[in-house]
Structure 1
Amino acid sequence: MENKSPKLIIPPDTKIQFTFFSPSGKVIFKQSLANETLESIILPIHCPIEYERLEAVRIPLSKE
């Protein structure tokens, strides 16, 4: 896959974990970002080397 600049939309009070995978299925890069604001955040993300796929998982932030 060409290195495009995908964008992640992080809803309010949510954590996102995203992972880039190589063509062989190996993890290239893994990162977590949290949005503790009341507004959604749109972030461009970049992987400096070629990747096959990108997976992102949303996790609600716990309220204490």
Structure 2
Amino acid sequence: MRRSKDTAYEKRFIFLAAWVEKWLTIAIVGGWVLLLASQFLLAFDSVRYFLVDTVRLEGIASP
């Protein structure tokens, strides 16, 4: 049989779980937004030349 009244511990746990879930969701969505933005920016040659060393070194002979 289930109790109808939560204890103080259960209330704090539910609050903490909701808080953690909210921030994990924000972190995941933020990560996806950053990933999409970086991939969009790397589609432009001028930005890619500035950000990626390999593009700058392309065609230069190694010693």
- TMscore range, shorter length: under 0.3
Give 1 or 2: higher helix fraction: 2
Give 1 or 2: higher strand fraction: 1
Higher RCO (CA < 8 A, seq sep 6+): 1
Q: TM-score, normalised by structure 2?
A: 0.18
Q: TM-score, normalised by structure 1?
A: 0.18
